[in-house]
Amino acid sequence: MVTRDERPDIRPTGGIVFLVIATLVGLVCPFAFGVTGLDWTFSKPTSVLDDSPRWDAERLWHVQAGLTSLVMWLALATISFFVLFHGRTRKRPLLAGVLVAISAVIVLGSTAVVLSIPPSGEQLPLPPWNRA
């Protein structure tokens, strides 16, 4: 008969898998922000007409999806941290902190990179005489 102390602990494996899923969910945010061409000012790109309600509706949907994925990533990463944190070895808190920090660098860093890229307003440049 196997006692509690002799059973293998599956918390590290489960916590790491959970954190990988959280990171993948968090990477939806940069994709959603990048699709709309957002930058740090959250302004409309110059290639979009001022009276385009369709683009505003699509932009709103992508911004909501991006923010939702960030909130879900934060919740899943927090849960994963506590799954990894509690255990029988002393190095668990260090493992939990390092893995969640790596996930944060990946998700928040890629979001910052996407928001730092200026929107491409010159997709269809106008001819020199300013007529299409």
pLDDT tens for residues 84-123?
887 666 777 888 899 999 999 999 999 999 888 876 655 5
- How many domains does the chain fold into? 1
Assigned domain for 39 exists: yes
For residue 88, what are the domain limits? 25-43+52-116
pLDDT tens for residues 15-39?
889 899 999 999 999 998 888 777 7
Assigned domain for 36 exists: yes
Which value, in Å, is the radius of gyration of the alpha carbons in the chain?
A: 22
Assigned domain for 8 exists: no
| Separation CA 107–CA 79 (nearest Å) | 16
Cβ atoms 38, 63 nearer than 8 A: yes
Assigned domain for 2 exists: no
Q: Which residues contact 18 (CB under 8 A, 6 or more apart)?
A: 76, 79, 80, 83
Assigned domain for 65 exists: yes
Q: For position 127, what pLDDT does the model report?
A: 60
Q: For position 10, what pLDDT does the model report?
A: 78
Nearest by Cα to 96 from 9, 27, 18? 18
Q: For position 58, what pLDDT does the model report?
A: 72
The single-letter DSSP state of residue 50 is T
